Amino acid sequence: MTTVQNLGSYIEQTVSSYRFPDQPANLYDPLRYFMTLGGKRIRPVLTLMAGNLFDIPKEESLPAALCIEFFHNFSLIHDDIMDAAPVRRGKPTIHTKWNHDIAILSGDVLFTEAYEQLTAYADERLAPLLSTFNTTAKEVCEGQQMDMDFETAVHVTEEAYIEMIRLKTSVLLGCALEFGAILGRQSETTRHLLRDFGIQLGIAFQIQDDLLDLYADPEKFGKQVGGDILSNKKTLLLLTAQRLANANNDPRVSELLTMPADEQKIETAKQLFEELGAVNQVKQVMNDYYQQAITALDELDAPAEKKQPLHQLSQFLMNRDL
């Protein structure tokens, strides 16, 4: 994982030494704080790796990578408000540490910083970069809205759920990778394959998240195991279990949802979802997306050794303990 780690450090170093203006302090202090909370910096690393496929030096890909990372953090800041999340990466969220208004506005200004990065490319690549980024940013907003809508929706299909995670999280991975192809002045086909690789990988990763929430080793999992089922969150796992149970008039999933939010509920869910075959079906869906991602990467016209870091990163992402 040397390449991933090296590129991650390079991004981390750049982000943490990035100079936001001093004033107004209430606008920029929250960004200085938030941007140094860490994170895996996977998205900007994808841009650097994709650029490297076409011999774009990492220094040249850097602004595009920062654009992605700033946008990602902007969306986290605003999502944290909407989710009323008190904590992010073990630290108070901006709206908790400052207030809602400051979180809205510092998010907005970080969004402009993302776009600002693209002005580093004042040539024929700017138009496709801007266009791709705009489409992606809109889709991320749409995905977040779908996610909020699902909270109160009576019925959500598995297809709609996957469309939601595609928009909310996966298209940004696709954009991060497509940026590398645009920087390398590649064909529409190459751009599409790289974007597709990112989107399929992102969906697989997100589905894995659903599984990990219930079946991860509590010792290794960063957050509380079973959080999703305690809040009856409509994950792909629950939606699949509901479909399988309904097909047999099996009332157990409906009963599960009425159980009090405690350890017993988590244990019941774990056994029930296995028994219904939901876990296997969801794993199958996850693996299908992962395979599609790898197929897109394989089809890509670039030297095998240059694709190696992207293969490694994919394995690293999908190799969380399950």
Give the footprint of a copy of itself on this chain (CB under 8 A): 21, 23-24, 26-27, 78, 81-82, 100-102, 104-105, 108-109, 111-113, 115-116, 118-119, 122, 126-127, 130-131, 134, 137-138, 141-142, 144-146, 148-149
CA 161, CA 275: separation in Å to the nearest integer? 22
Q: What is the DSSP string of 147-171?
A: HHHHHH-S---HHHHHHHHIIIIIH
Q: Which amino acid is at 131?
A: S
Closer to a copy of itself by CB, 94 or 279: give it: 94
Closer to a copy of itself by CB, 25 or 322: give it: 25
Closer to a copy of itself by CB, 24 or 86: give it: 24
- Residue 113: CB minimum distance to a copy of itself, A: 8
Whether the link from the prior residue into 57 is cis, omega within 30° of 0, is no
Give yes or no for a contact between 76 and 84, defined as CB atoms under 8 angstroms apart.
no
- Residue 64: CB minimum distance to a copy of itself, A: 14
User: Count of residues for the chain?
Assistant: 322
Closer to a copy of itself by CB, 131 or 284: give it: 131
Residue 232 gets which letter from DSSP?
Answer: T
CA 317, CA 300: separation in Å to the nearest integer? 20
Please give the backbone phi and psi of residue 92, each rounded to the nearest 5 degrees, phi first. -60, 140
- Residue 100: CB minimum distance to a copy of itself, A: 8
Closer to a copy of itself by CB, 105 or 285: give it: 105
> What share of residues in the chain are helix, strand, coil (percent, to 5)?
75, 0, 25
Closer to a copy of itself by CB, 110 or 230: give it: 110
Nearest to 272 by CA among 289, 256, 248: 256
Question: 286: helix, coil or strand?
Answer: helix
Closer to a copy of itself by CB, 138 or 223: give it: 138
CA 280, CA 239: separation in Å to the nearest integer? 13
- Residue 262: CB minimum distance to a copy of itself, A: 29
Give yes or no for a contact between 179 and 47, defined as CB atoms under 8 angstroms apart.
yes
- Residue 71: CB minimum distance to a copy of itself, A: 10
- Residue 215: CB minimum distance to a copy of itself, A: 31
- Residue 301: CB minimum distance to a copy of itself, A: 26
Question: 91: helix, coil or strand?
Answer: strand
- Residue 226: CB minimum distance to a copy of itself, A: 26
Closer to a copy of itself by CB, 103 or 302: give it: 103
Give yes or no for a contact between 70 and 79, defined as CB atoms under 8 angstroms apart.
no
Count of CB atoms situated within 10 Å of the CB of 2: 8
Closer to a copy of itself by CB, 127 or 322: give it: 127
**Token pair belonging to 255:** 């009963």
Count of CB atoms situated within 10 Å of the CB of 232: 15
- Residue 256: CB minimum distance to a copy of itself, A: 28
